[in-house]
Every structure is written in C-alpha cells, then in structure tokens.
Structure 1
Amino acid sequence: MRRDDHRGVIAFATLAVFLAGSAIFLLTGVTTIRHLLDNVISAYLLGWALYGMFNRMPLSETGTRFLLTTGSLVFCWVLAEGAVLLGLVDYRVLFGSYESGTALSVAGRRFDKELLWRHDPHYRYEAPYQGNIGRALCIPPDPARTVAVRYDRNGFRNARDLDSAEIVVIGDSYMEGYFTPDERVITTRLSELQEKSVANLGHSGYGPQQELVVLQRFGFPLAPQTVVWAFFEGNDFLDAERYEEKLLRSGNGWWQDFWFRSLSRNVSALLFRSEQPCTPDESLKELRAEFLDSMHRTTTVFFASAEVERVSEPTLLKAVAPIIRAAQLCRDRNIRFLVAFVPEKFRVYHDLPNLALSTAAIRQWHVSDVPGRLQRLLADADPRIEYVDLTPALKTAARSGIPTYLPDDTHWTDEGNLVAADAIHRALQKGFPAELPPRNP
C-alpha cells in the first residue's frame, strides 16, 4: 500500500472514531460540568488530530499551528482565571444562576469548612420578588416588589457591623428575613420591643449543627445577655440529617471558592441550563387554600409539599443535640437561653375559620405533635431551657385576618415578622418556666 493510501485509511478511521464518539456524546448526554469540560477538551484535541490527517502541509507546520493556537487559548484562559485568583472577578455575577442543592452557584457566597458556605462580607443584593413556591409554579418575578438585602462584615443580616449585642438571635432563613426590609425584619422588631441591641445571626440554609458553630464563632464574642435560638420545623430536621454527609463531601476550601467563581465552571453551567420554558410543578397546585383577610379580600395561598412529613425519633434527637449543647455553653457563660419554635405555614393556617382548604389533597393533611415533642426533649435534657412556640401567636393574628405567611412562599410576611418578634418579646418578659404540654397516650 502506498504511503498516501495508508495515510488516507488512517484519516478515515480517525474520522469514523470521531463521528462515533460524537454520536455517543449526543445520545448519552452530559451528566456533570466536569464531564462537559472533559468532552470539550477531548473534542478539541481530536479536532486537531483530524486537521493534521486531512491537510496537505508538513506535520511540523501543523504542530506549530497547534502549539500557537493552544498556547494562545491557554494564555487567555490563564488571564481570565487569574483575575479570579486575585479576587478581581467573580464570573457568577455575569453567568451565575441558582442551581438547586448548590448554594455556592450564585454570587455573594463563599465556602466555609464548618458552615459549608457563608455570605460575603458587606455583600448587597437587589432583585425582583419571587417566592420559592411561586418559582416552582413558574410564577414570574414581580418587578414592582424589590428584594434588597445587605450583610455585615461576617455575612449576617445586620445594618451595621456589631462589636457587642445584648441579645443574639440564631436561626435560618426565617431569622435572616430574606424578603423583609431591614426595618421590618424580626430582629429589628425585637430590638424595638425589648429596647435592647439585637444581633441577627440567622442564615438561610443552615441547620442546627451550623447554627451551633455560628453561636460559638460569632455569637459569644458579642458578649450577649440572652441567646434566642429559632428552630424551624420545615427543614431543620433534614439539614441535621444531611450535615455530616455534606461536610465529608465539601472538599478543599481554596478549590471550592476558586471553582465556583471561575470562568470555566460558570460558562459550562450556562451551557447546562435548559432552554425549555419553565414547567410548573403541578402537584403544588393541589396544595392550596383561600385566605380571607381583614379587608375581606381573598388570596390563594400555597403550601410546600413537605410540610406535614413525619419526624422519626432518631432524626429529632439529632436535631436537638446541638440545641442542648448550645444551652450548656450559654449556662456556663451565665447567658439566658430561649428556644423559639418556628412552625410551617400549614400548622398555622389549616384550621382557621377564614381559610378554606381548596382541594381533596390538602384536606387529607394532618399536623404532627412536633412542638410538644421538641419541648419535652429539651425539658428532659435541661429543665432550665426556656421555650416558646410561635404557633399560637401567628395563628391568632391570621385568624383576625392578618396574613402572617407569604401566599407563594414558605416564609413570613412583614406582619408575620412583627407577630413572631412580639411573641418572643413576651416570652422574654414573662420569664420561665413555661407549662409543658401533655404527653400523647
């Protein structure tokens, strides 16, 4: 076989392999961002191999072109990613979008080995309002309502940096008050009612183990007289269950911060996003009710699908353990400790006379006895732990026609923040002990 014929056979064989690989790529799809990057690099190298096979120029010249082109691309890539390493650019600002289950996928967040992630110091954010249930139902953002949030030097929702605080509030997104203006968030209201300085150390996405770290790292240095620990029944149990697994998978901190801010990841994530129109979660449409407010206006309210899931005893114990540890640490420092139970929307709304459950699916739901179980566990562990269930106060307000929860979200309205703050204020004024609920037979 002549040399040219031999080269042609190799070229066509290489082309066949390339086409077969491309077909497999299209048929199997891409499962991860790293998988996509691997395929892009492989396709680039294979493309050059095909170019070398089919062109008529000397291989040395082809090699020179390959080195110059690849070197130029690598140089540009190093410049782009070098800006990330120097902290000059965060490509999430340009390309980022929240990816479910990936907290670091949006700008303004950084990796933390114990907390998994934190808000950037003094970060500010503005966006049109869109509730979490509304997003799942494909309700578009409301440009008439702007969410404006700012954080302090430690990444918490305080209007200014604090060196001390008489009261420290620990919790998750309910305390952070993401949809609530600074002047109406629960900690601002509590500060006004108590006439004391209050530090908001609530952080969205945190569970009990992370909140214990927050108390030790950021709460105690403020030398508080009182610590209020807000426990949300909705996801604090799940967060407690998953924390250790997430901690093991968290990886290297330097790499996590670089990777999520990098051009490579954010462009790849952009390519991953579906161009298909939003598809509503039809199951959520079955979880709705009609709420009649004090102005005799009817509003459709939606509930989250996990609001009435049962909690096993091991899960409850795992979630309570960090709270008991926090109470011990506070007692050692002569700090008053109060646990505030934050209920789901359905627990507050389900039996109101001014609310009509709209579907058979939602009428099948029943509330659990989690508030009482939690209070008894805490009392058994340490009778000095103070406890307030926010459900009665929120229910009383809602019964009078005050919407305490957002209709298309799981969090409180501005009025709900005020009601919850007043309930905590009254508990702090009244003191301890509180009467324990009866045990179920």
Structure 2
Amino acid sequence: MIDCKKIGRNLAFVLYLVCLIYIAIPVDVVSLAQKGRPLLLGFFSFERLGVCIFLLVLAMVYTYVVFGKQPAGKKLLQVTVGVSSLLVSLFFLHVFLALSKKPHYIIDDGFVRHLPNKKFYDRFIDVPDAKGIFSLKYAQTEYHSISVSFTTDQYGFRNIQEQSSYDMIAVGDSFTENAYVSDKEVWTHVLQEKTHLRIFNMSRGGAHPANYYYMAKKYIPIIRPKYLLCTIFEGNDFRKRSLRRKKKGSSTFTLSLKKSPLKSFAKEMATHYLAITDENLKNQYPSISWLPLEVSYQQKKHYYCFRKKDISRLCLKKADFAQSPGWLFVHQYLQKLHALCKEHHVELIVMLAPSKPRIVVPLVIKSMNMENLYNFIFDEKDISFSYFKEHLLELLNTPENQLRAFCEKSSIPFINLSKELQRETARGKKLYFTYDTHWTPEGNRVVAGIVAQYMQEKD
C-alpha cells in the first residue's frame, strides 16, 4: 500500500532542500550590475527571489497537507480551492488595474503611436533602472526630478502646434521625440526657434530605421517638406530588428495587458525595500568599481552610469561592424529612405546621436583602470586586452565612421554631433542624464545649436 504521508514528507523535504541549494548558489553580482538590475538581500535577483518564494510556499503547502490533523484529501482540497481562488483573484485584479490606466498609445497602420491631440503630464526622475550597485552616488545626480509636458498633434506625434506647411521632417527614436524633457525643451522645438524652420517631429520612442522608412513613406506625401532629417541612435539602431508590424485594429486591451501592473508593483516594492547599496560590496568587484564614472571640470563634478550593452555594442572592429546584421539593417533602410526622398524631391540629411559612453569615456580614459573597463565590457574575449587598450577610441568611433563613409559615398549630408557634445561635456556641461540614456534639457539645447549652425551654413 502506498504511504501518501511518507511521499508527502519526502517531497516537502526535497522542496526545502532545493530552495536552500538555490539560495546557496552564488549570484552573479557583476552581471546584475552590468544590466543595471537590483541585488536583493545580497543573494537574489528578482527572478531568483520569486522562484525561492514559490518553492518555499509549495513546500509549506505539502507540509500542511502531510502533518495536519485533518485527512490529507480534505486538506488538499482546501489548499487547491484556496490557491485557485487566489490566482483567479490576482488575474482579475491585474486586468482591472491594467484597463483602469489611461492608455497613451494606439495602433495605427501597423505601428504603435501616441494618442492624437493630447497633452500628457508626467514627472521624470533620473534614477537607475534598479536601485543597487549603480546607485551609490544617487544623491549626486543633477536632474533628480523633472516635470514633463508632452503634447501630440493630430497624427500622435510630438508637435506643440500644427503648421499649414513644413520645411523639415525630423524622424528618429526617443532621442528625437525626447519623452524626458518638456515640449519646449526638445531639440527640434529649440531648433525651430533658432532657425525659424517649420519642423514636423515625426519620431517615436522605440522606433528603428525600418520604422523611419515606413513612416516617411506615409507622411512625406502629406507633409511635403524640403528636408528629411533622420537621426540614427548608435546605442540601439545598429541592431537588426523584427519587422513584424502590429495587426491593424489591435485593441487598447491588448496594449494595456502587455505589462503587468502587479509585477511592476512587486518589482518596485522589492527594489525599494530589499535592494542593497553597500559600498564595500561594490569594491569587491573591480570590474564595476569605477561606476558611476566621474567627469570633473574646475569645481564641477558630473556622474554617469551606463550598462554593459551601452558600450559593448560599440566595441567592434571595423571589418566586423561592416558585416554585422545591425549595420546591414541600417544600410538597407537608409538606402530605401534616400531613394524615397529623391522620388519626392526631398533632401535627406543624416545625423548620428552618439551614446553616453562614447562621449564621456574618452574624457577620463587616461585615469581609468583599463583592465576593469575591459572586464566590464567583454564576457567572451573576442578582442584581446592589448588590442582593446591600444585601440579603444578607434573601436568606440567605428559606428560613426562607418555611417559617415556611407553618407559620403551616397552624397547624403551628415551632421557630426560627437565632437561638439564631447567638447561641451569636457567644459562642465551636463548633456546626458546620470542614469538615463538620453540628453538632458541642456543637451537638447546644444544639439539644437549644432544643427542650427549646420542649416545656416548650408543655406
């Protein structure tokens, strides 16, 4: 005869043992820091903590069923009903919370965009993606909290007021849309005031070169501009993206349920109350001990953080980058965009938005421990340390050099932002947020000034 209680005891014991072993396995602190994620209680990532809690609860359920005074079958039924009720309640709570949030996006013509003719208000706080090792100098960020107004036009793009005609379309991702500054601080708006060019901002956070092409294909015949200014962000545009377009008519319900409010709440609570920020812990790991990066000018000190992928994506040799799927993807759609502009007698101008590490790392490279930086960037040592140390600046500039060469060969005007951004950063201006990837209000003003000077010299 099968001894159910003995089996239950053994199973509970195994679950407790697995939970203890899972806790005992060392967490990869460096990997969490590289991704900007929290270290909870000194042992856990968010996912590992979730698994441990699940195993522990399951073991406790088995313990209750096996060792309680009531018959095991009755207790098992009670537990099953209780757990099922809890899961159903959580699901409906999730649906209610998701749908009660006012949606900011719709799906139109296969692409996600903002609701048209709306004005949103929000508060942006420049904090790490997750409170943890990266946030040790958190109090020293200059842009702790910013009030942001965000206005959309009839098409759902970020334009304060509509014009009867436009001189320029500006297309790009979040570096052109700029969700983290207010309407009048976005570089396209500042550029419009400096030059009196009528600019249609046709950008969307999260977009990529294929989106730029398809949006231009739709809106160039409507807007009929003289110029199309396409901004390529080197941080993520040089990645091959999925071209699968959203189904037309996809509902707000689908968009609302995509992110779980309950999961977000759980992460926020775990991060706030359980994440550790121990300076001694950070110093145990040399490959991350240099973060946040300090850039000094006279009495000013600015701090910058970035994740591993923000800099590792730049560190490719010229030949490797030229054959990478990301570059071939950008190359393909810039060619299409160029042909489209020629067809409609629009002049295409390309501008590269440099990522934060490419601007700030060269400013402090002489004082950095290159071995720590090397170990932070690379898991698999495709590039030797000696080559990295000697050619780092060349590696960082590879994407820009490749894009500039393409533009020159294709007779496409190219705007270089990196030299001026680096010069102004060296002079003590805070052009990038400490933790976030994007340009600060001051950074937007500098970019607008560079583009304004280019357009004035061009005319």
Indicate whether 1:277 and 2:304 are aligned: no
Output the amino acid matched with 1:332.
Answer: E
Q: Residue 345 of structure 2 aligns with which residue?
A: 334
1:24 aligned residue (18, 22, 36): 18
- Give the Cα separation in 2 of the matches to 1:356 and 1:81: 48
1:80 aligned residue (86, 93, 99): 93
Once the 2 structures are TM-superposed, how far is the Cα of residue 327 of structure 1 from its aligned partner? 1.9
Alpha-carbon deviations, 1:203-223, whole Å to 9, x = none? 444432343344446676544
Once the 2 structures are TM-superposed, how far is the Cα of residue 403 of structure 1 from its aligned partner? 1.9
Q: Residue 36 of structure 2 aligns with which residue?
A: none
TM-score normalised over the length of structure 2: 0.65
Change (3 A) 1:234 1:136: farther
- Give the Cα separation in 1 of the matches to 2:162 and 2:6: 67
Indicate whether 1:358 and 2:374 are aligned: no
Alpha-carbon deviations, 1:89-144, whole Å to 9, x = none? 58xxxxxxxxxxxxxxxx967899976x7667755421333377998631326597
Change (3 A) 1:151 1:218: farther
Q: Residue 140 of structure 1 aligns with which residue?
A: 138
Q: Residue 455 of structure 2 aligns with which residue?
A: 428
- Give the Cα separation in 1 of the matches to 2:100 and 2:163: 27
The answer (yes or no) to whether the contact 1:324–1:378 under 8 Å persists in 2 is no
Indicate whether 1:15 and 2:16 are aligned: no
> If you compute each CA radius of gyration, which structure gives the higher value, 1 or 2?
1
Indicate whether 1:403 and 2:432 are aligned: no
Q: Residue 323 of structure 2 aligns with which residue?
A: 314
Indicate whether 1:232 and 2:233 are aligned: yes
SS of equivalent to 2:138: coil
TM-score normalised over the length of structure 1: 0.67
The 5 Å alignment of 1:2-401 reads 9-28=3-22, 40=54, 47=61, 51=65, 54-56=68-70, 65=78, 69=82, 72-73=85-86, 76-77=89-90, 79-84=92-97, 87-89=99-101, 122=118, 123-130=120-127, 137-138=134-135, 139-140=137-138, 145-153=144-152, 156-159=157-160, 165-216=166-217, 221-237=222-238, 240-241=239-240, 243-244=241-242, 257=255, 259-262=257-260, 265-266=263-264, 269=267, 275-278=274-277, 280=282, 283=287, 286=290, 288=293, 290-292=295-297, 296-300=298-302, 302=304, 304=306, 306=311, 309-310=315-316, 311=318, 312-315=321-324, 316-344=327-355, 357-361=366-370, 365-367=392-394, 368=397, 370-380=399-409, 382-383=410-411, 385-394=412-421, 397=424, 401=427
- Stretches of structure 1 lacking an aligned partner (at least 5 in a row): 1-5, 91-106, 433-441
- Give the Cα separation in 2 of the matches to 1:221 and 1:135: 48
Change (3 A) 1:71 1:214: same
- Matched length: 394
Change (3 A) 1:34 1:428: same
Once the 2 structures are TM-superposed, how far is the Cα of residue 161 of structure 1 from its aligned partner? 7.5
SS of equivalent to 1:129: coil
- Give the Cα separation in 2 of the matches to 1:429 and 1:322: 28
Alpha-carbon deviations, 1:240-296, whole Å to 9, x = none? 23x23x969x9xx7797455433564466568759230365854654856443xxx4
Alpha-carbon deviations, 1:180-202, whole Å to 9, x = none? 34322211111112313323344
Q: CA RMSD in A?
A: 5.0
**Identity of matched residues, %:** 15
Q: Work out which structure has the larger RCO, using CA pairs closer than 8 Å and 6 or more positions apart in sequence.
A: 2
Output the amino acid matched with 1:299.
Answer: K
Once the 2 structures are TM-superposed, how far is the Cα of residue 169 of structure 1 from its aligned partner? 1.4
The answer (yes or no) to whether the contact 2:132–2:276 under 8 Å persists in 1 is no
- Give the Cα separation in 1 of the matches to 2:166 and 2:133: 38
- Give the Cα separation in 2 of the matches to 1:430 and 1:58: 84
Change (3 A) 1:111 1:33: farther
Once the 2 structures are TM-superposed, how far is the Cα of residue 41 of structure 1 from its aligned partner? 10
Change (3 A) 1:112 1:28: farther
- Give the Cα separation in 2 of the matches to 1:197 and 1:163: 9
- Stretches of structure 2 lacking an aligned partner (at least 5 in a row): 24-43, 374-388
The answer (yes or no) to whether the contact 2:302–2:430 under 8 Å persists in 1 is no
Alpha-carbon deviations, 1:36-63, whole Å to 9, x = none? 589959966993895388444696x768
